[in-house]
Amino acid sequence: MAAAPQGRLTEAERGSLVVVGTGIRTGTQLTPETQAALRAADDVFYLVTDPMAAAWFERLVPHARSLLGLYDVGKNRGETYAEMVETILEPVRRGHKVCAAFYGHPGVFVLPSHEAVARARAEGLEARMLPAVSAEDCLFAELGVDPASRGCLSYEATDLLIHSRTIDPSAYLVLWQIAWLGNVRYSPTPSREHLPLLVEYLERHYPPEHEVILYEASPYPVGPGQIRRLRLADLPAAEPSPMSTLCVPPGQPSAPDPRMLERLGLPTRREGVSGSA
């Protein structure tokens, strides 16, 4: 086989990045594809949410290095994310096969994972992301929500407010990170002082007595997640945990457009329109 031109790396010498997710339930939601990526890596970095998950991951991959130490109280999270990206990419640039593992789904509310993949590709390096179980997947399963039945909007809570995102009260609404509303700096404890602003915004579309659901997927291999049903007006007093996701069920029925039903050749009766199987 002919040698590679001087200054150019062969495929075997070129570094690569695979970004994976650990799922939500510790030790039970790691896909075979993700396990293979971890085994094949020269360097493994990880970021999980609790000591038990960290201990499990370090038993699974003894040479793995945690990214948690890059956080610091009062430090802007954007700065921390940039440092994570550089930490992950440095060995890739040196020709190593790197796997970066994040809690849940690596592409759902994980900014450094997307940035690391984009930066690696921009530098001509192989990079890919593998799917995993997210908190929303667990929510759909445990709350019995089918997004095909009524539709589903999913927003980060702070983003909802600062961009005045559209709300359709005939569809499900999922709001992430409500315990960190308006907080861009790292803190070990959540800040709930802005929850009344969220309630004020939602009450433009739902009555104060509308039922909402605080959901927290269980990180443990057995047992259900935490499900708290309460009135919208009572949300500020509920003290959601750092991992809580808010689910707002539909507050009114949806009405199909008769003209569009006719153009699509669908029955005009409401029961004639259904979601996917």
Residue 113 dihedral angles phi and psi, to the nearest 5°: -65, -45
Instruction: Tell me the β-bridge partners of 18.
Output: 99, 128
Which residues fall within 8 angstroms of residue 240, CB to CB, at 6 or more apart?
A: 178, 179, 190, 192, 195, 214, 246
Please state, in angstroms and rounded to a whole number, the distance separating the CA atoms of residues 96 and 93: 7
**Would you put residue 74 in left (φ > 0), alpha (ψ -120 to 50) or beta?**
left
> 77 catalytic, yes or no?
yes
CB 115 within 8 A of CB 17: no
The catalytically annotated residue of 8, 59, 71, 81 is 81
> 81 catalytic, yes or no?
yes
The catalytically annotated residue of 77, 150, 165, 231 is 77
The residue to which tokens 């800040």 are assigned: 191
The catalytically annotated residue of 14, 46, 94, 103 is 103
Give the active site residues: 77, 81, 103
